[in-house]
Amino acid sequence: MVRCRALTACTTVALMLIWGSGPEAGQGAPVSPEAGQGAAVSAERRRDAIARIWRDAESAPVPLLPGEVAWSLTLPNVPSAPGAMDDERVYIPLRQDLLVALRRETGTVAWVRTIDIATPIVVAGRKLFAVSRGRIRALDAATGVDLWSVPVEETVSAPLVWDSGWLIASTDAGDVLAFRAADGALIWRRALGAPSVHPAVPGGENALYLALSDGRVVALGLERGELRWEQGLPGTISQPATGRDRVFVGSTDNFFYALDADSGSLRWKWRNGGDVIGAAVDGDVVYLASLDNVIRAVNRGNGNQRWLQSTATRPVLPPRAFSGVVVLTGLMPAVTVLVGETGVVMGTHAPGNLIGPPLIDSAPRAFAVAIVTVTTEGAVQALRPVGVMFREAATVPLAMLPGRALSRERVVPPSVDARGPLEGPAGP
């Protein structure tokens, strides 16, 4: 809180210095056209300065860990695929053709339905999207009831992706399909000649970026599916990550590549000590994880390294970065949260071997569940971040009173004159 107030005060002072203050700030004599142009340039510089202040202002990282257990349970069957979470519920596919929805804050069962799901599910816009027995299905998130379903001739090879009302699917035949998420209507289909096991990544100017099994990175237009560019890279490449005007991919050749988002041309590359399994972008910083058990933070624009941190776990999935923190999914501990600015470990959580990444609310609320983990054995655990509990410190009895001990003051009664009490004047 103190940091936030200090930041606000500094920003306010800077804004006053930039814009000017006092009664004379908006007053003055008429100016010539040349002076007016100069004033316009000056105003533009002020706006740029303000933008820099807000862009460079540091905010405290979201306090994800440590956390306290809100609830935990063991599912009746082991999970068949990674789950999903929204503001109200946690959705977990189970073996024996079951899908269970748990209330996020309590862990109690909201609904259960029969459906065969073996791939990751997606929740967005109050709908669940899943692949089941050769069909893509949309379910009502509140009840589990079917809303629509469409057949897919080929096998879906990568997790579904929802973005701005679009539902994107990739097939093992090398095709990318775009459906309207509201009703399942197929909008476009694009053959790429090679499949992808990674989900498509939205970014840039209404674009989709895909990493294909033949080593190509491909950019498609989101609205029509047109091919914008493709770039071949050596080795097996990771899931792309996007950040403003860059597309980032790692490779088994131990290099990390930064491509121009509009043209696909190589901007820079970074050599690592192991295969790069993925990256995440938060602002102007890119975080990349590699199989040498190291996570790095580099500048988005030029690749200059900001920090390097050895991890106590072997990464198994690309990191996730948001609100000043980096979340890394590994073997043991399963979840590691680092401070994005410094790489210092904020906390770890070790519930067991996870099926998929931890389910995380990137904007945790006070006293609410923000992290849910699901293990391959069916153990589910929900955490509330201690940092947003706002608890007061426990009252501790005083061992001694504050201040300096004083010696006891001795009170001496007033003395009496040996001659006896004074007598007043004699009477008449």
Q: What is the pLDDT of residues 204-220, one digit of tens each?
A: 889 999 999 999 999 99
Mean pLDDT of the region 155-178 = 97
Question: Which residues are within 8 A (CB) of 221 and not within 5 positions of it... i.e. 6 or more apart?
Answer: 206, 207, 208, 228
Least confident of 217-231, 274-288, 390-404: 390-404
Comparing CA positions, the residue from 323, 252, 228, 328 lying closest to residue 287 is 328
Q: What is the mean pLDDT of the chain?
A: 87
Residue corresponding to tokens 């071949």: 232
Mean pLDDT of the region 163-170 = 96
pLDDT over threshold 70, residue 183: yes
Whole-model pTM? Answer: 0.79
Which residues, listed in sequence order, are joined to residue 287 by a DSSP beta bridge?
280, 297
CATH topology of domain 233-346: Lipocalin (2.40.128)
> Tell me, what's the pLDDT at 37?
59
Cα(338)–Cα(294) distance, integer angstroms? 12
pLDDT over threshold 60, residue 29: no
- Could you read off the pLDDT of 361-381 as tens digits, one per residue? 999 998 999 999 999 999 999
- Could you read off the pLDDT of 231-258 as tens digits, one per residue? 999 999 999 999 999 999 999 999 999 9
Comparing CA positions, the residue from 108, 141, 106 lying closest to residue 367 is 106
φ/ψ bin of 119: left (φ > 0), alpha (ψ from -120 to 50), beta (otherwise) = beta
**Local structure of 400: helix, strand or coil:** coil
Backbone angles phi, psi at 5, to 5 degrees: -65, -40
> Tell me, what's the pLDDT at 412?
73
Structure tokens at 212: 């294909």
The domain ranges of the chain are 233-346
Q: What is the CA radius of gyration of the chain?
A: 32
If pLDDT is split at 50, 70 and 90, which confidence band does 396 have? confident
> Tell me, what's the pLDDT at 93?
98
pLDDT over threshold 80, residue 391: no
> Tell me, what's the pLDDT at 405?
73
39 membership: H or E segment, kind and range:
helix 33-56
280 membership: H or E segment, kind and range:
strand 276-282
